Amino acid sequence: MTTPADPERSLLIVDDDGPFLQRLTRAMEKRGFQVTACAGVSEALRAARSKPPAYAVLDMRLNDGNGLEIVDQLRALRPEIRVVMLTGYGNIVTAVAAIKAGAVDYLSKPADADEIEAALLNKDRKLPPAPEHPMSADRVRWEHIQRVFEQCDRNVSETARRLNMHRRTLQRILAKRSPQ
């Protein structure tokens, strides 16, 4: 049986949302993880350098940086680390970036502790299951526009030029909520 002090159950959680960080820390400790909770990139890197964790749950957007900045450094400290990215701003662009950086899964907030634990511990799953409700054509278009927008460093004029679209039309699309 795995004990909470087992180094193979060491978990680094990085999130700047204090209440969420506290809830997730308690929930993961109840599941037998030895949790180190951090609120930012610099604090997380200090903690990881002193004791490289076996698992990590990283928020995408943090007050002092981006969760993606941490993944490579965590992998350098412990190559077999399993990283799950969390975000409240889920889109295909950031999901692809997270997986390319070395995350094993990408979950949208609010993700519960059961989903996070399953993503961290599920080593056999090669591909995620097919979606029951695939994206609509409008959603795919919106995701493509978001990807190009991110590639252009969120520059509206450059994005409009690359998409061969009027800048004001693009601004209207970006101001709307994502289609379902």
Q: Residue 33 in contact with residue 12, Cβ under 8 Å?
A: no
Residue in the block written with tokens 């998409």? 163
24-64 pLDDT per residue, tens: 999 999 999 999 999 888 898 999 999 999 999 998 888 88
**CATH number of the domain located at residue range(s) 137-175 in this protein:** 1.10.10.60
Residue in the block written with tokens 């692809």? 96
Q: Residue 90 in contact with residue 108, Cβ under 8 Å?
A: yes
The domain ranges of the chain are 7-121, 137-175
What pTM did the predictor assign?
0.65
7-121 against 137-175: fold identical: no
For residue 12, the 8-state DSSP code is: E
Amino acid (one-letter) located at 8: E
152-162 pLDDT per residue, tens: 899 999 999 99
Interatomic CA distance for residues 63 and 43, integer angstroms: 12
CATH class of 7-121: alpha beta
* Closest by Cα among 106, 37, 36 to 71: 106
